[in-house]
Amino acid sequence: MSDPLSAFDAAVADLAPGIEVRHHEPLGPFTTYRVGGPAARYLVVSDDRSLASVAEAVKVSGVEVLVVGKGSNLLVADAGFSGLALQLAGDFTTVDIAPRPDRSGAVVRAGGAALLPVVARKTVAAGLTGFEWAVGVPGSIGGAVRMNAGGHGSDMAASLARVRVVDLRSGEDGVVTPPMLELGYRSSSVVPHQVVAWAELDLASGNRSTSEDDLSEIVRWRRDNQPGGQNAGSVFTNPSGDSAGRLIDLAGCKGLRIGTAEVSPKHANFIQADPGGSADDVKRLMDEVARRVADATGVTLHAETRLVGFSSPEGR
């Protein structure tokens, strides 16, 4: 019996011969950390027909799948990922706005690969409000649904109406509502082998000028308060009633360095990777920060960053 990778190669060649499957593709360049190892297989899906074919190939082969998205909340171990990494493009980047008949707002359908800042700016340009917070989040709609991304007092759950989810393991393709997604703080029921093909947002009518001011203020605030460079945003989720950044600072971890990774001196809940650095160094630093916070405060931190290829997925 062939291994899952060989079975996938054979199946995708038969079902979707036009799709380019790359072997041992480095995943670091597809993440905002820009470090990490390769995927055994990697491909890009640009339309529904190709997605259905890939889903069938995954189903018959049993290969493990990683949906990469925009990689803004992802850290892949230096050893890499032993399965199939998949990214959406093409038709899955579209943003369609359908005003309600009573002009009280609109339904926005955004493809799973649509960038959050793009969607935020397009909705504001259309005179809508409720999605301004997303202008400062460098992720995709699909990734934002999976982790219920948010900021500045709002999140995906606040405006999400419907989501089309394709299960690559079972082939199931359907539309679900927010209660079915079990949206929580930086969490949902979406699992690694499920693809968010599109999401619909229910947004209200707003004042374009006011919303544009809000966009500018959010961008300014993030520039002033969060570091640039190679990072994936907040490393740990905030404990109930507290701030992970405050606890990390309290434990004396600001500026702490292990190898090619450093806790940002600007914001303690950010870890920055050096150019050409090591994902394993980032993970080791996460472990050390969590240990020091637990020792100093008794609080157990939980990783917000999605960890792939590491033996201890919770970052401890």
Q: Which candidate in 186, 208, 222, 291 is catalytic?
A: 186
Residue 79 and residue 103 in one domain: no
Report field, pTM of the whole predicted structure over 0.85: yes
Q: How many domains does the chain have?
A: 3
Residue 77 and residue 96 in one domain: no
Residue 97 and residue 218 in one domain: yes
- 234 assigned to active site: yes
How far is residue 260's CA from residue 249's CA, in Å, rounded to a whole number?
20
- 186 assigned to active site: yes
Q: Which candidate in 72, 159, 304, 306 is catalytic?
A: 304
In a domain, 34, yes or no: yes
Q: Is the pLDDT of residue 153 over 70?
A: yes
Residue 214 and residue 285 in one domain: no
Q: Which two tokens stand for residue 131?
A: 């999605």
In a domain, 230, yes or no: no
Q: Which amino acid is at 232?
A: A
pLDDT in tens, 27-61: 999 999 999 999 999 999 999 999 999 999 999 99
pLDDT in tens, 212-237: 999 999 999 999 999 989 999 999 99
Residue 106 and residue 184 in one domain: yes
Residue 22 and residue 56 in one domain: yes
Q: Which candidate in 159, 234, 264, 278 is catalytic?
A: 234
Residues 284-300, buried b or exposed e (16+ Cβ, 10 A)?
ebbbbbbebbeeebebe
